[in-house]
Chains A and B, each alone.
Chain A
Amino acid sequence: MSLTATRVTGWATGFGNMLDKEMGSWWRTRRWLVHLVLWQVVVSGFILLISLEQRGRSSPESGLNEVMQVFFQAGGFFSLIGAVLVSQGAIVGERRSGTAAWVLTKPTTRKSFVLAKLVAITGSFLLLSLVLPAAAVLIISQLVWGQIPPVVHYLEAVGILAVHQVFYIAVTLMLGTLFKARGPVAGVALGFWLSGQIIPNFAPKWLSLVLPWSLAPSAGSIAVWKPLGFPLWIPVVSTAGLAVIAVLLALWRFEREEF
């Protein structure tokens, strides 16, 4: 028997194994099934009910427009809550249970530990809570309204919502490196989203533009090709930038953590 030593060095040491473990926690347990059913029921089921309820009252065009707005706003809201709840315990939970300290006695870096979580949660959660429900909504639209929104715009809108969710995942992971309990982590992340429903009413317009608050409503308009009144790239780029800053902060803070 000849065991071959791993060759990866530097910051990525242990990343592949950590990522495999994190993906395994989604796909080699029943977690994927729970999320699949949950998001199909909550998002796609909700959209199906709305569509059936609207079918007799609206024209196909206006019905589809309304369904798109509901999907990107309400669906965005539900999956945002989900993103925060899924990410809140990713670091805090492992620190409290002792598994983080155990893993970090193996040859892996703290960067690998955090980034593997980010990649696995982002990939798995977005697929289950956004991409698959979005595909289901297309099918529902075709079945109920006999048409679907322009595919390119629809994909663009889903992409915008993905940036929005990634931001909240990154921020929640970052908060997990700062706080020792789940409560403050989820509280601050959801508080930030809630403040986005209030602050834009009296804050300067540029503030709402550079923060992620305008992304979910914008996605609904983009899907049905409605003009926005502001350049979309600004909130997309700034939200993506803020997500990167949150990840960098998380890496910096976790590097200094003592167990």
Chain B
Amino acid sequence: MTEPADGIVIRTRGLKKSYPGAEALKGLDLEVRRNSIFGFLGPNGAGKTTTIKLLLGLARPTAGTATLFGFDCERDTLEVRRRIGYLAQDPRYYDYMSARETLRFTARFFFSPGPDLERHVEETLGLVGLAAKADRPIAGFSGGERQRLGIAQAQISKPELLILDEPAASLDPMGRRDVLEIMARLREFTTIFYSTHILEDVQRVSDTVAILNHGELIAKAPIRELLAGSGHTTYVVRLSGATDAARRRVAGFPWAISLEETRLDGEVEWHVVVSDDQAAEAELLRAVLADDQTKVKKFGRRRYQLEDVFMHLIEGGRQR
């Protein structure tokens, strides 16, 4: 067991990176737990790739510290790199090599050559569906095949942590699905830290999310918590007919924080934010149906999509 006893695999404290005329990262504090699939979100230029480069020792921080498994990313970079697998945003390999040669080359940084290593390479090629193309030069590979090779080389050392930079960004829907499936499979064995701006993917596979904007961390939470919104539940009610009396009744409840009304094609849609979900669940629909003239077309809690949360946070950041 190489990670600290608290199960934190990645820890950054006040991590900063400045380039001439630009501050790419402004004091990042981050913790990633073992065996999580941690989605690192942010718009282009938010500082995601910079953070990854600092973790990998490809760049040096201007201030602050980053540790992986308790090892300093700058001072103990070899120890760090022995424990991680990395897939770049736009992975580049030696085009004259075949997929097998690429994996063999990668594996030999970690393991001694021999029949066992060759078997391991063969198995890994099978895992990512490249066995049939194992001995063809990479130069002729499609984007999806390159990405699958990228995942294979990243996990060939059986790393304790996988760092993936935009693993599905350049792929078609099929390629994206394949990559997400491989990630879900690998979660049993390893922690996955990946950056992306494809929110749908994050919602599908991640358990924890951090959102970065302009080099600052603006949110970090388990994805369920983030999707629950501000802590208050919002009910969406769509009605037709007479709604004025029902509206007065609902607005009069002590748990009703706000009621926003919009008119759509002769119908009315309410967004009712409540402070007491149990009371609202028991009383809200009854209060609306109390009037015979009111017809309920739709009723339910609002389900936030990650995109809503993301846009809200990013837009909030812009207004600040």
Interface residues of A (CB under 8 A from B): 1-6, 9, 13-14, 17, 20-21, 24-25, 29, 97-99, 101-102, 104-109, 258-259
Contacts and interface: CB of A to CB of B under 8 A. Distances in A.
27 contacts: A1-B120, A3-B110, A3-B111, A3-B120, A4-B112, A4-B114, A4-B116, A5-B110, A5-B112, A6-B110, A17-B105, A17-B108, A17-B109, A25-B96, A98-B90, A99-B94, A102-B91, A102-B93, A104-B56, A105-B58, A105-B81, A105-B84, A105-B86, A106-B81, A107-B110, A259-B58, A259-B59
Q: B59, B110, B114, B119 — which one has the most chain A CB atoms within 10 A of its CB?
A: B110
A21 B105 contact: yes
Contacts of A21: 94, 105
A99 B112 contact: no
A20 B101 CA distance: 11
B58 to A, nearest CB: 4
B78 A13 contact: yes
B97 to A, nearest CB: 8
Interface string B25-66: 000000000000000000000000000010011111000000
Contacts of B112: 3-6
Contacts of B114: 4
A160 to B, nearest CB: 34
Given A104-B56, A258-B60, 19 more contacts: A1-B116, A1-B120, A2-B116, A3-B116, A4-B114, A6-B109, A13-B78, A14-B109, A20-B108, A24-B101, A101-B58, A102-B88, A105-B56, A105-B84, A106-B109, A106-B110, A107-B81, A107-B82, A107-B109
B163 to A, nearest CB: 8
A158 to B, nearest CB: 30
B117 interface: yes
B232 interface: no
- Nearest first, the 7 closest Cβ-Cβ pairs linking A and B are A98-B92, A259-B58, A106-B109, A105-B86, A3-B111, A4-B112, A258-B59
B58 A104 contact: yes
A5 B2 CA distance: 16
B203 interface: no
Contacts of A101: 58, 88
Contacts of B119: 1
A3 B56 CA distance: 24
A98 B106 contact: no
A15 B53 CA distance: 22
B60 A106 contact: no
Contact of A29 (B92, B96, B106, B120): B96
A13 B30 CA distance: 30
A20 B106 CA distance: 12
Contacts of A14: 109
Interface string B95-107: 0100001000110
Given A3-B116, A97-B92, A259-B58, A109 B111 contact: no
